[in-house]
């Protein structure tokens, strides 16, 4: 068999005629390989390039299989579509044609997007795909138009954020079956909700990754990430594995788009970067709306070229700069990366609102005063996803504190109006819309030495912060492996029925209604360089945007100690004294948005 891109075996089981399936594994370090089936082990055929294949009907849908190395050790399929149990056991042969889709879904345009980021395991008391279906009507009523699921690829144990996945094609069975996940997506589409999946292509988790036992060339030992040896994306078989993965999620599960985690740690020496090739393959495959957004700490935009107002590769990027400036404004905190955003914070907030990134090549104190970022004003503002908090910004705190626990109601309400009415794409963190105060902690489900190492590593991450210089104080940080750490991270669905929860929900739903009625229709065709700064000092930020229909939208955010003049024009929405108002005065801790 040759080594061309169309002749190499495909990763994962491939259905053939008459109930036969082709099983394949790239195992260049092994001389022989067998397939474990319910009726016994079957020898596989070695083909060119280190691949082994077998066509057989010995495994039926729903039954388990694995690959047996010459020493007798059985490994799961790294491209398994499901697992029988945990990541160390047999993989499950899945019949993806069994699910009957109910919704004829055509997708939604990107500019309508309001994202609710959620973690399946803590989103509901049941923590399953099916349980999440019952909560979708609440999200729609609140004004959310999209849900973004934290990574689902199966990881070690049953509790975790999902960023330590090792079986990148297998939705974690702790949350339900593959059909259960499809039912969630189907139900979301029936309600007009877009569904995104967070995918992790920068590393594999520490528990259950057996690739090194039979395919050491999958990794480049000379290059490293914070989580171990880097992935060798320039190896053809490895490249095939990753290019096929997003296509699989988008086609088999009908996801509407993907969020690519920490792409600054995806290093590829190839002439054509793996991410460019992924996005190109996706754009060539689908004629429905597919939205791809990235997380990239470098503030670069090389993956986001637009032609005639439409993305040709990736659609947008998470803008951490926006969060990193509003957080010290809200809380007064200045440690860690917030140190870059305290000076001239009003000007920096205004720049984030009008140009996207704050750091566009300026030296960063937390990066040894080296330049960070590139000019971003030429991007449409809808290419930026902004948030007041997300899973990282909450969960990476020692005790998982949400922003509501760190600032005043009046400040948070005013900043919420800024967030939800700006032209950028807003993202919320589950429970935020009713003022959830339960923490979201870092949690895992490891055993033995790995559990001890994760516990120690987690606590030592905070040694550089003043509150945790004393090692004894770090012992108070929740143990990631303790079941109680996971349990306390669930959101509380009784809170929206409390007076306080109802008030927060009214604020969020009111602002999102104003966004849907007045902002979203004007985001279509919004041009680059649409924003301009009017005022940004002494606690007052006043900015304006030329919208897609030519109208001017003006925003006033007043965090000063005095009332300030209101912007001219028709009132879109205003928040004052922690609540929506139809009669704004420009008082302290208020936000007013007008249209003219």
The whole-angstrom separation of Cα 418 and Cα 345 is: 15
The whole-angstrom separation of Cα 61 and Cα 53 is: 18
The whole-angstrom separation of Cα 9 and Cα 269 is: 24
Q: Are 374 and 361 in contact (CB under 8 A)?
A: yes
Is residue 139 helix, strand or coil? helix
Residue 181's H or E segment, with its range, is helix 178-190
The whole-angstrom separation of Cα 381 and Cα 422 is: 9
Number of helices and strands (H, E) in the chain?
15, 31
The rounded Cα 327 to chain-centroid distance in angstroms is 20
Q: Which residues contact 152 (CB under 8 A, 6 or more apart)?
A: 120, 162, 165, 171, 172, 175, 181, 197
Which ranges in 360-516 belong to alpha helices (H)? 391-395, 409-421, 448-460, 471-474, 483-487, 499-514
Ramachandran assignment for 12, one of left (phi > 0), alpha (psi -120 to 50 degrees), beta (any other): left
Q: Which residue has the tokens 């082990």?
A: 41
Ramachandran assignment for 99, one of left (phi > 0), alpha (psi -120 to 50 degrees), beta (any other): beta
**Which segments of 226-278 are extended strands (E)?**
228-231, 257-260
Instruction: Look up 261 and say whether it is catalytic.
Output: yes
The whole-angstrom separation of Cα 154 and Cα 448 is: 20
SS (H, E, C) 450-488: HHHHHHHHHHHCCCCCHHHCCHHHHCCCCCCCCHHHHHC
**N residues, the chain:** 596
Of these residues, 117, 180, 256, 295, which one is catalytic?
295
Would you give the DSSP letter of residue 516?
I
The whole-angstrom separation of Cα 247 and Cα 403 is: 36
Q: Render the burial of 367-381: b for 16+ CB within 10 Å, e for the rest.
A: eeeeebbeebeebbb
Q: Which residues contact 556 (CB under 8 A, 6 or more apart)?
A: 540, 541, 542, 564, 566, 567, 586, 590, 591, 592, 593
User: What does the block give as tokens for 444?
Assistant: 């895992």
Q: How far is residue 207 from each of residues 12, 88, 136, 158, 454, measured CA to CA in Å?
A: 20, 9, 33, 12, 12
Instruction: Look up 470 and say whether it is catalytic.
Output: no
Of these residues, 261, 268, 340, 392, which one is catalytic?
261
Whether the CA torsion 22, 26, 27, 29 is positive or negative: it is positive
The whole-angstrom separation of Cα 495 and Cα 356 is: 34
Q: Which residues are catalytic?
A: 261, 295
């Amino acid at each position: 068999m040759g080594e061309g891109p169309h002749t190499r075996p495909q990763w994962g089981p491939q259905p053939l005629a008459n109930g036969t399936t082709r099983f394949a594994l790239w195992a260049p370090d092994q001389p022989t390989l067998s397939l474990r089936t319910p009726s016994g082990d079957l020898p596989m055929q070695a083909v060119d390039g280190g691949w082994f294949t077998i066509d057989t009907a010995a495994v039926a849908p729903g039954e388990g299989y694995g690959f047996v190395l010459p020493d007798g050790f059985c490994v799961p399929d790294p491209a398994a579509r499901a697992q029988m149990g945990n990541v160390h056991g047999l993989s499950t042969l899945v019949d993806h044609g069994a699910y009957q889709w109910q919704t004829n879904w055509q997708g939604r345009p990107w500019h309508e997007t309001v994202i609710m980021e959620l973690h399946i395991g803590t989103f509901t008391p049941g923590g399953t795909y099916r349980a999440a279906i019952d909560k979708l009507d609440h999200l729609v009523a609140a004004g959310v138009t999209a849900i973004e699921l934290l990574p689902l690829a199966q990881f070690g144990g049953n509790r975790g954020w999902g960023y330590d996945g090792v079986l990148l094609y297998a939705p974690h069975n702790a949350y339900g079956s593959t059909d259960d996940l499809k039912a969630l997506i189907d139900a979301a589409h029936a309600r007009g909700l877009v569904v995104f999946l967070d995918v992790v292509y920068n590393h594999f988790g520490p528990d259950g990754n057996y690739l090194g036992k039979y395919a050491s060339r999958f990794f480049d030992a000379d290059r490293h990430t914070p989580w171990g040896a880097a992935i060798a994306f320039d190896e053809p078989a490895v490249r095939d594995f990753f290019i096929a993965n997003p296509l699989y999620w988008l086609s088999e599960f009908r996801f509407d788009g993907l969020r690519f985690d920490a792409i600054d740690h995806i290093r590829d020496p190839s002439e054509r970067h793996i991410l460019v090739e992924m996005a190109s393959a996706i754009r060539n495959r689908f004629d429905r709306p597919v939205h791809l957004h990235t997380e990239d700490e470098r503030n670069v935009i090389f993956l986001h070229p637009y032609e005639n107002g439409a993305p040709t590769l990736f659609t947008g990027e998470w803008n951490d700069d926006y969060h990193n400036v509003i957080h010290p404004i809200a809380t007064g905190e200045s440690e860690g990366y917030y140190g870059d955003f305290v000076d001239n914070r009003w000007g920096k907030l205004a720049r984030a609102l009008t140009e996207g990134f704050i750091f566009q090549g300026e030296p960063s104190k937390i990066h040894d005063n080296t330049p960070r970022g590139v000019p971003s004003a030429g991007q449409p503002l809808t290419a930026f996803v902004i948030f007041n908090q997300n899973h990282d910004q909450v969960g990476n705190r020692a005790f998982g504190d949400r922003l509501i626990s760190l600032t005043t109601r009046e400040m948070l309400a005013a900043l919420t109006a800024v967030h939800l009415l700006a032209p950028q794409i807003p993202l919320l963190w589950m429970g935020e819309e009713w003022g959830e105060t339960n923490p979201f902690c870092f949690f895992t489900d490891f055993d033995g030495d790995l559990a001890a190492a994760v516990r120690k590593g987690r606590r030592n991450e905070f040694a550089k912060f003043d509150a945790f210089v004393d090692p004894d104080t770090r012992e108070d940080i929740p143990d990631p492996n303790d079941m109680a750490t996971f349990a306390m991270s669930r959101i509380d669905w009784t809170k929206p029925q409390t007076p306080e929860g109802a008030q927060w929900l009214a604020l969020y739903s009111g602002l999102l209604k104003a966004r849907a009625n007045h902002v979203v229709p004007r985001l279509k065709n919004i041009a680059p360089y649409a924003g301009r700064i009017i005022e940004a000092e002494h606690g007052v930020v006043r900015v304006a945007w030329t919208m897609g229909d030519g109208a001017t939208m003006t925003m006033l955010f007043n965090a000063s100690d005095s009332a300030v003049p209101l912007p001219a024009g028709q009132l879109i929405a205003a928040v004052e004294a922690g609540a929506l108002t139809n009669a704004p005065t420009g008082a302290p801790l208020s936000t007013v948005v007008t249209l003219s």
